[in-house]
Amino acid sequence: MRDILITLIIFGSLPLILRNPVNGVLMWVWISVMNPHTQSWGFAATFPFAFIVAIATLFSLASSRLPKTLPVSPITYTLIVLILWMNVTTLFAMFPETAYAQWSKVMKIMLMSLVTMMVIRTREDVHRLMWVLAMSLGYYGVKGGLFTIRSGGVDRVWGPEGTFIGDNNEIALALIMTIPLLRYLQLRSAGRWLRLGLGAAMLLSALAALGSYSRGALLAIAAMIVVMWSKSRHKLAGALLLAVLIPLALLFMPDRWGERMDSIGSYQADESAMGRINAWYMAWNLAKDRFFGGGFDIAEPRAFFLYAPDPHDIHAAHSIYFQALGEHGFVGLALYLLLLGLTWRSAAWIARHSLGRPELEWAQQLATMIQASFVGFAVGGAFLSLLYFDVPYYLMAVIIATRVLVAKRQHAARYAVQGELESRHPVVRQP
């Protein structure tokens, strides 16, 4: 039944996609982020839905009257340079076969990320994309939160198998990034029951993140909460609410959860933590030796034999930063950090130029919540190999589109004021 339902939804969307490529991007985001086919048990689990939607979206974009150019933004240009650099490092990859397999997957993500930046241009498009992102991940937040409550926090929360967020650590970080997005939708929703539902989804997503037993997630959610609270207009009420909810959530979790979180301070005795540090040393040494890095997928015995302190402890990078460093060298890491910095700076620009303007209140709220989401990603991503996780790139597209909209609004207001002044004080031209 689930297979049939998912198939009907996706194939039923094709006429809408051909009519407007924005619909194709929204459908692509839903498939790539939520992976609804993983919730089935039959033919839909392996059917190439993403490929079909991508082809339909590209055809719709090529045949539509929408602009075929990327928005002018330092974020866009930096992402393009990073993509080109990834192609260069692939030519010099240590393990060509595995590198090219991963290259194919990453380039598809990057292509559709650029398409998203190209077609998401209006406020309505931005709002719809935020709903798709929040609901795609919020589904797992609600499901995981209820599972944590039912099991008393004893069993771990896992994501959909075979996806970017399949591991317990990865789904936890994804849910932490989703909480600020849900908060934005809550702020922009008028219906009381809808607001309450979004609030419940936020709480359940936080509980699911705790129920993942991810130590990195605990640090990420703490950083994200601090940012959300600092950008709130009602800091006292927010502090009181957190003072009530946080102890209740921590008390709910069993002793084994507390013991795992306590191990953060004694990482030297934890095999998993030491394995990650060994992989970080390997990435650092490799990047110092190879200007172009090792290319995609370097968690191989040969790489660890050459560059790791312990050549027998083979781990993935478990860090977006060391993953970028090991796979694409210092240049790749610098480009990725620049990309994150430019996104933060653009979000700060939006928040600053929208503050105190009722017609741009939505933009100010959106920018600050995306900043909170990126803080969670930056902290939690320090312990996970999620360099190619697509959600941050979609949020970059949202920031680019929102900044353009705010800038246009500013120019329109400036010209309106100038026209009013000229009408009051006409310039008398000398003959």
Q: Does residue 312 register a pLDDT over 70? A: yes
Residue type, position 131, single letter: W
Hey, what's the torsion of the CAs at 112, 181, 81, 92, to 10 degrees?
Answer: -80
* Contact between residue 223 and residue 379 where contact means Cβ atoms under 8 Å apart: yes
The kind and range of the H/E element at 412 are: helix 390-424
**Residues 210-229, mean pLDDT to the nearest whole number:** 88
pLDDT single digits (tens) 411-422:
776 666 666 666
pLDDT single digits (tens) 328-355:
999 999 999 999 999 999 999 999 999 8
Please report, for residues 144, 209, 212, 310, the alpha-carbon distance to residue 247 in angstroms, rounded to integers and kept in the order given.
20, 15, 18, 40
Q: What is the pLDDT of residue 54?
A: 94
Residue type, position 63, single letter: S
Residue type, position 97, single letter: E
Q: What is the pLDDT of residue 242?
A: 82
pLDDT single digits (tens) 35-88:
888 877 778 778 889 899 999 999 999 998 888 889 889 999 999 999 999 999
Question: How far is residue 202's CA from residue 245's CA, in Å, rounded to a whole number?
Answer: 12
The model carries a pTM of 0.91
Mean residue pLDDT across the chain:
89
pLDDT single digits (tens) 247-303:
888 888 888 888 777 766 655 555 677 888 899 999 999 999 999 999 999 989 999
Of residues 287, 296, 300, 276, the one with CA closest to residue 388: 296
pLDDT single digits (tens) 80-124:
999 999 999 999 999 999 999 999 999 999 999 999 999 999 999
Q: What is the pLDDT of residue 229?
A: 87
pLDDT single digits (tens) 123-162:
999 999 999 999 999 999 999 999 999 988 888 888 888 8
Question: How far is residue 284's CA from residue 304's CA, in Å, rounded to a whole number?
Answer: 11
Structure tokens at 300: 């191989």
Question: How far is residue 367's CA from residue 346's CA, in Å, rounded to a whole number?
Answer: 8
Residue 250 in 3-state DSSP?
helix
pLDDT single digits (tens) 6-36:
889 999 999 999 999 999 999 999 999 998 8
Q: Scan for tokens 């330092």, then name that residue.
A: 74
pLDDT single digits (tens) 371-395:
999 999 999 999 888 999 999 999 9
Q: How many CB atoms lie within 10 A of CB 214?
A: 28
